[in-house]
Chains A and B, each alone.
Chain A
Amino acid sequence: MTVLVVAEHDHKILSDAGRRAVAAATALGGDVRVLVAGHHCGAVAEAAARLRGVTQVLLCDDPLYAHQLAEPLAVLIAALAADHQAVVAAATSHGKDVMPRVAGLLDVGQVSDITAIESPTVFQRPIYAGNVMARVCCEEPIRVLTIRTTAFAPAPEDGQAEITAIAAGPDPGLSRFVEDAMTRSERPELGAARVVISGGRGVGSAEGFELLEAVADELGAAIGASRAAVDAGFVPNDYQVGQTGKIVAPELYIAVGISGAIQHWAGMKDSKVVVAINKDEECPMVQTADYALVGDLFEILPSLRDGLRQMKA
């Protein structure tokens, strides 16, 4: 069996999600090839070649892939897929955009958001916002799979695979890049952070999030948010943790002023330790968290920051 992994990257660095997709592909068994399609992305191919289990890196370096548009990428991947039994990518916004298009071109079903691989054809995945787990069998001639990054550890870097340059595919001319508006942050990436502190409606304002920032600074934490906080405009949309936002599973998740709707739980329930800080002792987050501190977050957060500083001193 040969598995093709679609690497996610920014043309310079192979993403943490891409390394996790390689680990999942290795768990399927067989040879693992990694496709790096981008522009001036040689460094990504070199990084992919070092991952354990990778037997070959296919490097497709062309301006056509400069913005990672789904339409040309899917054509390239679907053409390569013919020589593979499975195509794997991380279930990030990029994988979610591109992979079903690949499956559509191949006319096969896809298994999304895999959290466990039981055998090369049997997988587990969450449904109903993670309230139910499904076991799914995929016997399509080419298995198109996306994996939930929090369920697989990144592949270690002790391999040495060859890099083969391949020609670009055709340009279907169906889409044009206009612009990016990315959130700049010095903090760790939300999906990969060891500690996440998230705020909800209870935080009350963008200024309220500064209190979370101060605690995050002490913990080296990423900042997240509930849908209510994003909808209210306190923070940008890519902070959202939940069923349809980011899925996180840090060692420590601190939920501040978040009531804990099932849609939010779906995004963080695999966190190792969950702390709830909330004035409502009846809310689901307080009821379900490992540690719940009931009180006024505007008093608790500054003293939490001070307490963390003292511990370090």
Chain B
Amino acid sequence: MKVLVPVKRVVDYNVRVRARSDGSGVDLANLKMSMNPFDEIAMEAAVRLKEAGQVSEVVAVSIGTDACQDVLRTALAFGADRAVLVQTPEAALEPVVISRILKAIVDEEAPRLVLMGKQAIDDDCNQTAQMLAARLGWGQGTFACRLALADGEARVSREVDGGTRTVALPLPAVVSTDLRLNEPRYLKLPNIMKAKKKPLDIKPLESLGVNTSTGIRCLGVSEPPARKPGVRVESVEDLLHRLKHDAQVI
């Protein structure tokens, strides 16, 4: 059985981004880029399923400019068997467009399971997995913290407000990963070297015949209002006094 893992190239989670002063967008020049951390968790889950003998092939796919080849090489170093880059002129596409493109890739590749991060840490949308599942007419297991495959089903425990909810999804299905599904492995040098020789196909976006129009556009960005500077208090008594009399919150 084949698993498809879509991965996104985003600003590294340790980097603090800033809005451009003219508000036209986010300043991404010379920032460290990495695989979206939630997609690393999906990648790790897929590779573990393969190592357990439950999955025969893991295919990674990324959508974006040529620069996305680096995250695909990372996916291959994790243990993906091959990678596909859907090459687009612009880096940022709306999730609804990404879900159309992924649908076309799923139609070609025919995986039984799509495993992907629940959200990208740049646009924080948390949409693509659910949109893809809807398009495919497949079940969805969002925000997974446990995943098991048995008897043609995926059993997914989901992190929800208030606790954990477990659902069973007949395959094929889409599963989106939350932080506690696993801890992604450290990539070892031999695996990074081996990844350089694994197949990476490049498909121009036009070749998929996907509609890329959307009614959503960004009008501009800004820095959030800054908090006013705080004060250092010296004792519990001091703190309680200020909370009661200055801030008036207790």
A100-B126, A181-B157 are known contacts; what are 15 more A-B pairs with Cβ within 8 Å? A70-B130, A97-B140, A97-B158, A99-B130, A100-B95, A104-B130, A104-B133, A107-B96, A108-B96, A109-B214, A178-B155, A195-B249, A219-B250, A237-B145, A237-B163
Contact with A along B222-250 (1 / 0, CB 8 A): 11100110111111110110111001011
Q: Which of B190-243 contact A (CB under 8 A)?
A: 214-224, 227-228, 230-237, 239-240, 242-243
Q: What are the residues of chain B within 8 A of A169 when measuring CB–CB?
A: none
Contact between chains at A238 and B124 (CB < 8 Å) = no
A291 surroundings in chain B (CB, below 8 A):
230-231, 233, 239, 242-243, 247
Are B127 and A290 within 8 A (Cβ)?
no
CB of B139 within 8 Å of the partner chain: yes
> In the complex, what residues of A have CB within 8 A of residue B234's CB?
293
With contacts A103-B127, A104-B131 taken as known, whether A252 is within 8 angstroms of B222 at the C-beta atoms is no
CA distance A100 to B215 in the complex (A): 15
Max chain A C-beta neighbours (<10 A), residue from B130, B180, B220, B237: B130
User: Are A311 and B250 touching (Cβ within 8 A)?
Assistant: yes
Which of chain B's residues have a CB closer than 8 A to the CB of A311? 240, 244, 250
Interface size on A, residues (CB 8 A): 90
Least CB distance from B144 to A in Å reads 12
Is B147 an interface position by the 8 A CB rule? no
Q: A195 CA to B231 CA in the complex, in Å?
A: 20
Rounded to whole Å, the gap between the CB of A264 and the closest CB of chain B is 12
Instruction: Check: A84 CB closer than 8 A to any chain B CB.
Output: no
| A137 pairs with B126, CB closer than 8 A | no
- Which residues of A215-254 have CB atoms within 8 Å of chain B's CB atoms? 219, 227, 230-231, 236-238, 243-244, 246, 251-252
Contacting pair B143 A93 (CB below 8 A) = yes
Among candidates B129, B155, B163, B228, residue contacting A180 with C-beta atoms closer than 8 Å: B163
- The 10 listed contacts between A and B (C-beta, < 8 Å) are A93-B160, A97-B158, A128-B122, A131-B223, A175-B140, A179-B165, A183-B162, A272-B247, A290-B231, A294-B232
In the complex, what distance in Å separates the CA atom of A97 from the CA atom of B158? 10
Once bound together, how far apart are the Cα atoms of A100 and B236, in whole Å? 46
* Residue of B with least CB distance to A98: B130
Report chain A residues within 8 Å CB of B107.
none
* Residue B54, interface by CB 8 Å: no
**Which residues in B have their C-beta under 8 angstroms from that of A129?**
121, 124
Interface assignment of A164: CB less than 8 Å from any CB of chain B: no
Which chain A residues numbered 87 to 136 have a C-beta less than 8 Å away from chain B?
92-94, 96-105, 107-113, 122, 126-136
Q: Mark B155-173, 1 if CB is under 8 A from A, else 0.
A: 1011111111111111001
Q: Give the docked Cα–Cα distance between A28 and B240 (Å).
A: 41
**Which residues from chain A contact B46 at a C-beta distance below 8 Å?**
none
Instruction: Chain A residues near B160: list those with CB within 8 A.
Output: 93-94, 97, 238
Contacts of B44 in A (CB 8 A): none
* Among candidates B145, B179, B220, B236, residue contacting A304 with C-beta atoms closer than 8 Å: B236
Q: Which residues of A contact B228 (CB under 8 A)?
A: 290
Shortest beta-carbon distance from B223 to chain A in Å: 7
Known: A104-B134, A132-B222, A178-B166. A292 touches B230 (CB 8 A): yes
Asked whether B26 is an interface residue with its Cβ less than 8 Å from the other chain, the reply is yes
B232: shortest Cβ distance to chain A, in Å?
A: 5
CB nearest to A276 among chain B residues: B230
CA distance A292 to B228 in the complex (A): 13
Which residues on the B side are within 8 Å of A262 (C-beta)?
Answer: 16
Report yes or no: B169 in contact with A110, Cβ–Cβ below 8 A: no
A151 — which chain B residues lie within 8 A by C-beta? none
Question: Once the chains are docked, how many angstroms separate the CA of A182 from the CA of B163?
Answer: 4
* B153 CB, min distance to chain A CBs, angstroms: 8
Q: Is B90 at the interface (CB under 8 A from chain A)?
A: no
Q: A69 interface residue, CB < 8 Å from B?
A: yes
Known A-B contacts A290-B227, A292-B231, A311-B244; A122 and B166 likewise in contact (beta carbons under 8 Å): no
What is the minimal beta-carbon distance from B100 to any residue of chain A, in angstroms? 8
On whether the beta carbons of B137 and A172 are closer than 8 Å, the reply is yes
A275/B122 contact (C-beta < 8 A), A133-B222, A175-B139, A179-B166 known: no
Looking at the complex, which of A36-44, A49-57, A138-146, A206-214 is the stretch in contact with chain B? Answer: A138-146
B126's closest neighbor in chain A, by CB? A96
CB 8 Å contact bits of B117-129 with A (1 = contact, 0 = none): 0110111111111
A103 touches B96 (CB 8 A): yes
Q: B32 on the interface (CB 8 Å rule)?
A: no
Q: Which residue of B lies closest to A194 (CB)?
A: B249
Question: Is B62 an interface residue when CB atoms closer than 8 A count as contact?
Answer: no
Q: How far is the CA of A130 from the CA of B223 in the complex (A)?
A: 9
B142 contacts the other chain (CB 8 A) = yes
Q: Contact check, B140 vs A135: say whether CB atoms are below 8 A apart.
A: no
Check B140 against A238 for contact (C-beta < 8 Å): no
